[in-house]
């Protein structure tokens, strides 16, 4: 996506319907992930839509695409009984706290036990076979239990700082003419933002239960490896922008200027 947007920046900004090409590419992984991993599809979609927004694509068409995708997501929830059950349990988890609402109620208990300062690092009770997937999907609830409200707020602020820094690196690269690095940085920022927001919102009961890990914190070797690679790409983009603050060519003109006779 970053390669496409860096090559066709002018088309995306001046020709509204040129954005159908990246959306068509998005449809392939989104279609493959739709049934087995609905949360992964959401992260993919947020990343691409956010990159298109940062590239200057038409906000009207992006809004229409967002409404269309949102309608499709609602339909996917309605036609699958287990997804509909997750939605109903999310709205009132205490109504069936030993079945569909079990994970969320145990997470909320962990938040309640943490209070302001927490029970102490390593002293969580909920992670001892009470809260399912406490080391991956619901690790934020364990953090809130052990470190309290203060620790949870610090984690949120750290992720906010990471995302803001990624966007700032992308903005500096864009102003310097390094469009590929800029859009890679934007995409990484949106991926981490979507994944972290969904994970923390699910753990705190703001969104229905969805199996997404918390970047850099949840257990898992492959997740940590990929996130480390993304951090390395951010550092590389920042280093290249510092070493070459300006490029000769401007990205805001078409690649082939018409000749004047």
Q: Tell me the pLDDT tens digit for each residue of 11-38.
A: 777 776 777 888 888 888 877 877 677 7
The percentage of the chain sitting over the pLDDT mark of 90, rounded to a whole number, equals 36
Q: Is the pLDDT of residue 261 over 50?
A: no
Asked if 244 and 176 touch (Cβ cutoff 8 Å), the reply is: yes
Please give the Cα distance from 43 to 188 (Å, whole number). Answer: 11
pLDDT given at position 116: 92
pLDDT, tens digit (0-9, with 9 covering 90-100), for 54-97: 888 777 777 777 787 778 777 777 777 766 776 777 777 887 77
pLDDT given at position 257: 47
More confident residue, 90 or 143: 143
| Mean pLDDT score of the chain | 84
pLDDT band at 220 (very low <50, low <70, confident <90, very high): confident
pLDDT given at position 54: 87
pLDDT given at position 247: 61
Please give the Cα distance from 198 to 103 (Å, whole number). Answer: 15
**pTM of model > 0.85:** no
DSSP annotation string for 108-169 = HHHHHHHTTT-S-TT--STTTTTSTTTTTTTHHHHHHHHHHHHHHHHHHHHHHHHHHHHHHH
Please give the Cα distance from 109 to 111 (Å, whole number). Answer: 5
Give me the mean pLDDT over the 43-59 stretch: 85
Please give the Cα distance from 68 to 199 (Å, whole number). Answer: 24
Where does residue 142 rank: exposed (0-12), middle (13-18), buried (19+ CB within 10 A)?
Answer: buried
Q: Is the pLDDT of residue 44 over 80?
A: yes
For residues 111-121, one letter each, b for 16 or more C-beta atoms within 10 angstroms of the residue's C-beta and e for the rest, the string is bebbeeebbee
pLDDT given at position 259: 47
Other CB atoms within a 10 A radius of the CB of residue 87 amount to: 15
């Amino acid at each position: 996506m970053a390669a496409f947007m860096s090559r066709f920046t002018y088309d995306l900004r001046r020709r509204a319907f040129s954005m159908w090409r990246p959306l068509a590419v998005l449809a392939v992984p989104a279609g493959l992930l739709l049934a087995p991993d609905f949360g992964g599809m959401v992260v993919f979609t947020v990343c691409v839509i956010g990159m298109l927004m940062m590239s200057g694509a038409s906000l009207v068409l992006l809004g229409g695409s967002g409404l269309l995708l949102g309608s499709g997501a609602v339909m996917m929830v309605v036609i699958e009984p287990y997804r509909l059950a997750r939605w109903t349990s999310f709205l009132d988890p205490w109504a069936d706290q030993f079945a569909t609402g079990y994970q969320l109620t145990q997470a909320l208990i962990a938040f309640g036990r943490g209070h302001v300062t927490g029970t102490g690092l390593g002293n969580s009770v909920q992670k001892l076979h009470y809260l399912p997937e406490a080391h991956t999907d619901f690790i934020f609830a364990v953090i809130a239990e052990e470190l309290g409200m203060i620790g949870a707020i610090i984690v949120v602020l750290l992720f906010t700082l990471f995302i803001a820094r990624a966007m700032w690196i992308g903005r500096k690269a864009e102003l310097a003419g390094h469009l590929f690095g800029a859009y890679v940085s934007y995409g990484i920022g949106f991926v981490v933002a979507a994944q972290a927001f969904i994970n923390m919102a699910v753990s705190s009961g703001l969104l229905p239960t969805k199996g997404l890990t918390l970047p850099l914190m949840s257990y898992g070797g492959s997740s940590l490896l990929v996130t480390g690679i993304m951090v390395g790409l951010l550092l590389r983009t920042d280093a290249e922008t510092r070493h070459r603050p300006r490029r000769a060519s401007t990205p805001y003109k078409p690649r082939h200027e018409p000749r004047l006779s």
